[in-house]
A = this chain, B = another copy of it.
């Protein structure tokens, strides 16, 4: 829709003038304002008046540089969450949009759609809502934005009929995201769709009936590139990785070096490896010290044909990511360096680990405390002990530098370690 078209259709008598918003119709990027106006201008549609007042209120916000929504409580039958209620503080001026609630709806894992499905959603939202939909919110929900209290249930019922369910809001399990991964990415180290659905669908009760101390988010990325920002933005991040050696096609390496030149290859691949695990041989083949490689993905990203993850694949699990509120930003901390994700049992294990985390969170977190805050409050040793996880050097950048600690049980703790090691080696030998 060229913006002239839109302009053409806009601001007759009965419509709120929007001089400030109009300025957001210029320029090459698709304009949300133009979109809102088209909804406003669909005279035949139930939402046209609502969108006229919505534009009026938004223009009002742009004038005064203040927001005019307040929260409240709205939900659908059987659920305690999934709807973000919005009531206007300036309903007197803009009555038609006095209620402008959002339904958070969980997307198919990996955000795959058919045009047919999208059309069905549009039809439902034209019928009950404002006609305004976001693909997607930052937590991954399809956000059906702008619904009267009365229509929330209807809209949900229709969406639910075509197989869609509400997402999370409030102190609850939140909607999750998984990267495109297996569906279209050679870096993918586990089946993201399966992990995402296995875990979340197991704990839907925690999502639909908020009863946790605070929000809890899972996110699934198939490799260290972390295309869904899991480490920063999830309480429970599942990041694909591999245990064995990466695969190297030396012929492709040579082709790469031939194409870009030695100096370029050295400066951009060899010298950029964070652990100096790479060395370019004089014959332009690549030396990889796999024990030192930290699976950062850089060299694989650059030489997509020559290098790829090993065969013994699975995931690392990091706990405790969140944004700034209260304690400052926290990133997820490496808690499970490797979990195989292959068989039915493997995914069971992942699910059970998720359960133990949710239970620990429910039992130990203070009100409005994220699990990352709990971890900081009680300390990593107490945290993993409570979860029955053994200490692992991968959990830290380096061991303690502070001598302020009581170590009289050090020897006993060391014994435990050696016993575990013995068993592990025994198992390894058995395999």
Binding site for B on A (CB under 8 A): 262-263, 266-267, 270-272, 276, 279-282, 324, 328-329, 401-404
Looking at the assembled complex, report how far the CB atom of A266 sits from the nearest CB atom of chain B, in whole angstroms: 6
Q: Which of B262, B270, B329, B403 contacts A271 (CB 8 A)?
A: B270
Looking at the assembled complex, report how far the CB atom of A9 sits from the nearest CB atom of chain B, in whole angstroms: 41
Looking at the assembled complex, report how far the CB atom of A280 sits from the nearest CB atom of chain B, in whole angstroms: 7
Q: Tell me if A262 and B282 are in contact (CB < 8 A).
A: yes
Q: Which of B282, B324, B401 contacts A404 (CB 8 A)?
A: B324
Q: Tell me if A404 and B276 are in contact (CB < 8 A).
A: no
Point out the residues of chain B lying under 8 angstroms from A403, CB to CB: 324
Looking at the assembled complex, report how far the CB atom of A15 sits from the nearest CB atom of chain B, in whole angstroms: 39
Q: Tell me if B276 and A267 are in contact (CB < 8 A).
A: yes
Residue of B whose beta carbon sits closest to that of A263: B282
Q: Tell me if A402 and B328 are in contact (CB < 8 A).
A: yes
In the bound complex, what is the Cα–Cα distance between A352 and B402 (angstroms)? 35
Q: Tell me if A281 and B263 are in contact (CB < 8 A).
A: yes
18 contacts between A and B (CB under 8 A): A262-B282, A263-B279, A263-B281, A263-B282, A266-B266, A266-B270, A266-B279, A266-B280, A267-B276, A270-B271, A271-B271, A272-B276, A324-B402, A324-B403, A328-B401, A328-B404, A329-B401, A329-B402
In the bound complex, what is the Cα–Cα distance between A247 and B105 (angstroms)? 63
In the bound complex, what is the Cα–Cα distance between A267 and B402 (angstroms)? 33
Point out the residues of chain B lying under 8 angstroms from A404, CB to CB: 324, 328
Looking at the assembled complex, report how far the CB atom of A337 sits from the nearest CB atom of chain B, in whole angstroms: 26
Q: Tell me if A279 and B262 are in contact (CB < 8 A).
A: no
Instruction: Using known A-B contacts A324-B402, A404-B324, A404-B328, determine if residue A267 contacts B282 with beta carbons closer than 8 Å.
Output: no
Looking at the assembled complex, report how far the CB atom of A376 sits from the nearest CB atom of chain B, in whole angstroms: 14
Looking at the assembled complex, report how far the CB atom of A398 sits from the nearest CB atom of chain B, in whole angstroms: 14
Q: A324-B403, A324-B404, A329-B402 are in contact. List 20 more A-B contacts (CB 8 A).
A: A262-B282, A263-B279, A263-B280, A263-B281, A263-B282, A266-B266, A266-B270, A266-B279, A266-B280, A267-B276, A267-B279, A270-B271, A271-B271, A271-B276, A272-B276, A324-B402, A328-B401, A328-B402, A328-B404, A329-B401
Point out the residues of chain B lying under 8 angstroms from A262, CB to CB: 282
In the bound complex, what is the Cα–Cα distance between A276 and B270 (angstroms)? 11
Looking at the assembled complex, report how far the CB atom of A129 sits from the nearest CB atom of chain B, in whole angstroms: 34
Looking at A262, A263, A282, the one whose CB has the most chain B CB atoms below 10 A away is: A263
Residue of B whose beta carbon sits closest to that of A324: B403
Residue of B whose beta carbon sits closest to that of A279: B267
Looking at the assembled complex, report how far the CB atom of A350 sits from the nearest CB atom of chain B, in whole angstroms: 31
